[in-house]
Structure 1
Amino acid sequence: MLASLSIRDVVLIDRLDLDLGSGLAVLTGETGAGKSILLDALGLALGARGDSGLVRAGATQASVTAVFELAPGHAVWAVLDEQSIPVEASLTLRRVVTADGRSRAWINDRAVGVTLLRQIGDYLVEIHGQHDQHGLLDPRTHRDVLDQFGGHDALRAATAHAFREMQAADAARDRAEAEAEAVRREEDHLRTSLADLVKLKPEPGEEADLVARRQRLQNADRVVSALNAALDALNGEPGLEMRLLDADRALQRLPDADTEPRVAQLRAGLERASIEIGEGVAAIERLMADLDLGEDSLEAVEDRLYALRAAARRHQVTTEDLPELSRHLRERLDLIDGGTGGVTRLAAVATAARAAYKTAAAALSTARRGAADALVTAISAELVPLRMGRVELAVAFDPLPEGSWGPEGTERCQFMVRTNPGAPAGPLARVASGGELSRLMLALKVVLARTASAGTLVFDEVDSGIGGAVADAVGERLQRLGGHAQVLVVTHNPQVAARGDLHLRVAKRVEDGQTLTEVRALDATERREEVARMLSGAELTAEARAAADRLMSLASRDVA
């Protein structure tokens, strides 16, 4: 809701600071006192067109600051986040217009363009009256309003999901068709390349394996020669083991061979050497047995390596990419061969997705028509007490061309009105007069109050040209609407003014030869006097004060 409004040097207002609350706020005052200036100033903060005519005479600039208090999940916060504007406890909109017509705007002290300010303002305030028209008078909002009233969130989500699926399927089919056309142009080359790769049968990691095998084969002669030389050295004639045995026999012939410790140690050493030599021979023999040179010759390995590298150069890829290239060529040819990625299959998927979207959109459309009937019935009931019983409201559904289908469905919805029997129905803004339009907007907002997106509603002279029971009906509906949203109403009608939770009086004063507009919140006694003035005119009478008491008492009783 709008928490405060600060105005500086706008037309006849030199300085004004208003603190506002929830519920119904009424603005009253003599004709020409400047009530419309308040709405012009608020509109300026919301992104309306600004020009030098708004700057008070003698001032260099006009400025308006509007502070809003919003719930954490309000849609505005997401918009600000997209624009990287800091989110604070409250939302502050500020607009300045200089005497030479230049305009600047800020959101939470961040300089922004007027377009963004207007976008944010549309989320916050709806103004209905005989001058500025927003919200429901824009046909682009009618479909969303109808869906909010009908509670179509699930159906809209299903339709949006089906639309995205249809878009994705159409895009996949279109890409496949374009690719298939390209494949047909180079089909012979693709088939030849694929046949060569199928024949070659490249494997992942094969080049590295071949390089290692070639290295082993190139070293094979040196390895075998070295191992054989080692065996010859150990097993030559006479062998080392035999010579060690001869040495041990010689030591055994010593006279003290059995008693001399040193001879025993020497013989033990010879025995260990003989064992080590035997183990060395066995180890060399195992190494030769384990030497795996494979069945391929060096020539065969080098031929395979050359074939892989030649294919890689021919296709301008690495040998490691050859298996993937083979798969890719197969997929491309599948587009015209009718494989799993073929155009025919993707076209069938796209057809099914389109059918699913049309089904979802049709279900949403059916629900909209039911909601439209309920909405028209509810609004018609509200119009009777407003002396607009002959006004007929309808919701027109216009099918969209296929190229304009979207996540919201396949149709356009627009509220239409017929103000006189026999007259053609037309859009709200073009058919209804100013007073009728304001009361029609009031009836719409009363019915849509629980689903309204904007938290602040402004009605400019919604009670113009009416009185008595009709004015009381308008006041009762404004008061009821104030229970769901913040409502600001400019009124000349005491029946409406008596129902305000906050009463603001607009008046002119002359100071230092200048005419200025001031706005003041009235207390209970001042409210009674203002309502009495609205009843009786310039001269206040006891009867007028008594009538004001009755009106205010009735208003309080209706609230209770």
Structure 2
Amino acid sequence: MIRELLVRDLAIITELVLPLEAGMTALTGETGAGKSILVDALGLVLGDRGDVSLIRHGQERAEVSAIFEIGANKALSVWLQGRDLEQDEECVLRRILSREGRSRAYINGRPVPIQTLREVGRHLVDIYGQHAHQSLLQPGVQRSLLDAYGAHTSLLDEWGQAYRHWRRLSQALENLSQTTGEQVARLELLRYQVEELEAFRAEPGELVRLEQEQQQLAHGAELVQGVELALDLLYQNEQGAVYALLGKVNRQLAQLRAIDPKLNPPVELLEGAAIQIDEAAGGLRHYLDSMDVDPERLGWIEERLSSFYDLARKHRVAPAELPTLAEHLASELEQMENIDNRLGELQEECTAALQACQALAADLSKARASAAIKLAQGVTEVMQSLAMPGGCFKVILASLKEQEFSAHGAEQIQFQVSANPGQPPGSLSKVASGGELSRIGLAIQVLTSQWGRVPTLVFDEVDVGIGGAVAETVGARLRELAKHRQVLCVTHLPQVAAQAHAQIRISKSYQKKTATVELTCLDKEDRVEEIARMLGGREITERSRAHAREMLETVRQIK
């Protein structure tokens, strides 16, 4: 659950700290006071898209932090441990927006990508916006709600893996089955190319070795002449060889260092130099002995290199890539020549994969059918208390053909409703009015959220368009839900706010002609005043106060 939300320099918020407890908390206040800004701030710290326009005017950055207690959330603990982000019994999320357009995210003080923030958010909070009921018209949303209610996550994962495996095999089988004239021509070309490359027999690293040897042979005379001259100057010239001159210097200095030992270091260096010159001369002699300038070998190498370059141009690859190309084309040829065998294997694999899909589809359909009955009964029951007496809700499952299967299952799911007794059920888009759709949506949200694992639920003015006894019922449903989950509810309805375990008033104030948002955690008397305001507007009367006290007292007696 959320323990604390801190917001700094976001929209019209200068800085505020929102402390939260378990149970149901109502966020109330005048229209435009900033209630939904808090929901937006929570969305930001959970990974929603950010924009520099959200930064408070005159500031360089905005910051939102949230502290969550995660003691009982084992799934989240495992998730954090797997990414080295765990920190005792709490999880701290932080999001920073800057004027430069950069957005930074942190989990327990460690920088993470926004996507990681979004992933951890799915373990922590579900937010239901005031227009969430409109999404009920989308088939994908209806399917997701049914699956959330039925807790089908593991079964859906199994189905998704089996379906994707079957589709990959089916596509491979289809591609392999389409042996066209173009493929026949490709097979003939492959045979010619593989035969040509096998006859050439290019070996890995051969090109580099040939180019090096060609350079040596092509410049053989120049190399021999240069090395002989160097050897003569270093060692063999009797009059002026470096080695002889260095020996003469060493002998002279050897006599002098007997007089002054300070000459020892340079003498030792010169003696080492003589040894190195002697070794270098030996290396040069060995090089000359190994030199074999063979014109026939040079001609063969140049012809081989020419073939390398010509064949590489023909196949449009670098000369050094010819050995790899030969392997690749040989493998492709083998696969195409074994097409009949592979077709049979693929057919068997595809059949087995389809059977696995059908078995999982049957299990998923059975689970969905069971959940559909329970969800329909639950929503129908709630509808009776939401000013829709005699209304009926149904969940229809329509089986799909094999070619219509999708990653979401083997059936289409449609929510249907009859808003009035005696009317046949029809699709939500054709039967339910806007107000009815809002009430049905709220009923489904309350029912399905009871079965989720996310510890905190946020309802942002989902009760718009509802009033009177219906609003009281909505509040009672949210309070009941708060027995098992932390519930935050942004509301304008006193009937809903009175049901909350705690109430926070959000107001707008002005400091130096600049608007900012303030929070007030209301005590018993403050709640009476706030609910009285919600009941009677700006003019708060003793009658509205008495009504507010009565509403609060009734809720306390019910608990």
Normalising by structure 2, we get a TM-score of 0.61
1:49-68 deviations in Å (ceiling 9; x for gaps): 22222112222211111222
Contact 2:397 2:412 in 1 (8 A): yes
1:384-438 deviations in Å (ceiling 9; x for gaps): 322345876554546667578577632354556687979973579x9874x6555
1:479 is aligned to 479
1:87 is aligned to 86
What amino acid is aligned across from residue 359 of structure 1 in structure 2? A
Measure, in 1, the Cα distance between the counterparts of 2:531 and 2:162: 57
1:131-160 deviations in Å (ceiling 9; x for gaps): 678997886565454244335578658757
Q: SS at the partner of 1:6?
A: strand
1:366 is aligned to 366
Distance change >3 Å, CA 399–CA 76, structure 1 → 2: farther
Measure, in 2, the Cα distance between the counterparts of 1:409 and 1:423: 24
Q: SS at the partner of 2:122?
A: helix
Measure, in 2, the Cα distance between the counterparts of 1:170 and 1:427: 36
Measure, in 2, the Cα distance between the counterparts of 1:535 and 1:167: 59
Q: SS at the partner of 2:450?
A: helix
- CA RMSD between the two structures: 4.3
Q: SS at the partner of 1:516?
A: strand
2:507 is aligned to 507
What amino acid is aligned across from residue 87 of structure 1 in structure 2? E
User: How far is 1:457 from its partner?
Assistant: 1.6
Q: Any gaps of 5 or more consecutive residues in structure 1?
A: 187-331
1:37 is aligned to 37
Measure, in 2, the Cα distance between the counterparts of 1:64 and 1:441: 30
1:108-144 deviations in Å (ceiling 9; x for gaps): 2232333332333234322223367899788656545
1:425-467 deviations in Å (ceiling 9; x for gaps): 3579x9874x655543321132224311332222222332332
The reply on whether 1:538 has 2:535 as its aligned counterpart is no
The reply on whether 1:59 has 2:63 as its aligned counterpart is no
1:239-258 deviations in Å (ceiling 9; x for gaps): xxxxxxxxxxxxxxxxxxxx
Q: Any gaps of 5 or more consecutive residues in structure 2?
A: 189-334
Q: SS at the partner of 1:357?
A: helix
User: How far is 1:16 from its partner?
Assistant: 0.7
Q: SS at the partner of 1:386?
A: coil
What amino acid is aligned across from residue 534 of structure 1 in structure 2? M
What amino acid is aligned across from residue 425 of structure 1 in structure 2? S
Contact 2:130 2:459 in 1 (8 A): no
Of the structure 1 ranges 498-507 and 49-58, higher mean CA displacement relative to structure 2 is found in: 49-58
1:425 is aligned to 427
Measure, in 2, the Cα distance between the counterparts of 1:156 and 1:362: 12
1:467 is aligned to 467
Distance change >3 Å, CA 154–CA 100, structure 1 → 2: closer
Of the structure 1 ranges 543-552 and 383-392, higher mean CA displacement relative to structure 2 is found in: 383-392
2:209 is aligned to none
1:451 is aligned to 451
Measure, in 2, the Cα distance between the counterparts of 1:78 and 1:177: 46
Measure, in 2, the Cα distance between the counterparts of 1:360 and 1:11: 49
Measure, in 1, the Cα distance between the counterparts of 2:122 and 2:362: 30
Distance change >3 Å, CA 458–CA 416, structure 1 → 2: farther
1:28-49 deviations in Å (ceiling 9; x for gaps): 1122222121112112212222
Contact 1:438 1:461 in 2 (8 A): no
User: How far is 1:481 from its partner?
Assistant: 1.5
Measure, in 2, the Cα distance between the counterparts of 1:112 and 1:401: 43
Larger Rg computed on CA atoms: 1
1:284-327 deviations in Å (ceiling 9; x for gaps): xxxxxxxxxxxxxxxxxxxxxxxxxxxxxxxxxxxxxxxxxxxx
User: How far is 1:5 from its partner?
Assistant: 0.4
Distance change >3 Å, CA 349–CA 100, structure 1 → 2: closer
Contact 2:386 2:439 in 1 (8 A): yes
Q: SS at the partner of 1:88?
A: coil
How many residues align? The count is 409
Alignment of 1:335-414 (within 5 A): 347-348=347-348, 350-388=350-388, 393-395=393-395, 397=397, 402=402, 405=405, 409-413=409-413
What amino acid is aligned across from residue 462 of structure 2 in structure 1? V
Normalising by structure 1, we get a TM-score of 0.61
What amino acid is aligned across from residue 121 of structure 1 in structure 2? G
Contact 2:394 2:417 in 1 (8 A): yes
Measure, in 2, the Cα distance between the counterparts of 1:134 and 1:111: 36
Measure, in 2, the Cα distance between the counterparts of 1:26 and 1:2: 14
Measure, in 1, the Cα distance between the counterparts of 2:52 and 2:159: 47
User: How far is 1:25 from its partner?
Assistant: 0.5
Of the structure 1 ranges 374-383 and 70-79, higher mean CA displacement relative to structure 2 is found in: 70-79
Q: SS at the partner of 2:385?
A: helix
Distance change >3 Å, CA 73–CA 123, structure 1 → 2: closer
1:289 is aligned to none
1:15 is aligned to 15
Distance change >3 Å, CA 404–CA 66, structure 1 → 2: farther
User: How far is 1:379 from its partner?
Assistant: 0.8
Measure, in 2, the Cα distance between the counterparts of 1:364 and 1:398: 13
Q: SS at the partner of 1:506?
A: strand
User: How far is 1:506 from its partner?
Assistant: 0.7
1:317-361 deviations in Å (ceiling 9; x for gaps): xxxxxxxxxxxxxxx9xx999xxx997577446524522431331
